[in-house]
Structure 1
Amino acid sequence: MQEIPLYDLAHARTGDKGNRINISLVAYRPEDFALLVEQVTPEAVARHFAHRQPSQVLRYMLPKLGAMNFVLDDVLDGGVNDSLNLDAHGKALSFHLLAMTVRRA
């Protein structure tokens, strides 16, 4: 078994509104999408973001695009305008997801 960071298999796009962030994960190659579907579950993403304490993680599948979109609630310290954190939003959190690893034989 080999552990591979998501950034080797996919890229991400993100957006944030209020205290909610969405992160789209798009496989580089169609053959890697099944591995992402199997291992990058809402539960796995919630564990990976546990330090941000998401109240809910939803996953929306976009199989024809080889992509999935995650919506994480309550992870932005009240929102961009309310947060005292330095850029803990958008691109910073999408790269945090891309640092997550999956296992491949």
Structure 2
Amino acid sequence: MKNILLACSAGMSTSLLVSKMKEAAEEKGMEVNIWAVSQDKAPSEMEKADVLLIGPQMRFMKAKFSKTAEEVGIPLDVIDPVAYGRVDGEAVLNKALELMGE
């Protein structure tokens, strides 16, 4: 089971993206746990995740989250703005899997 964490300003704007990512994973026959949280909750949620993806509107938080991500041993990156804007669940899922070495 892969655990994919998404972080955005309030945890709301990524909820539709989470749904689309789950659909894409289901189509691939993958078991994944994907959830979104606000930027405040992201550091404590990282311990449960295999990867952290940050909403493009929060790219300025990457440096702050990098330290915690390094401590818990997970990769992180900013979600591609085009994939985010298109709510392209498959593209974002593929990016998460790539970061995890899948």
Q: Which has the higher strand share?
A: 1
Q: Which has the higher helix share?
A: 2
Pair in the same fold by TM > 0.5: no
Q: Provide TM-score, normalisation by structure 2.
A: 0.29
- Report 1 or 2 for greater relative contact order, CA contacts < 8 Å, sequence distance ≥ 6: 1
Query: Radius of gyration: which is bigger?
Result: 1
Q: Provide TM-score, normalisation by structure 1.
A: 0.28
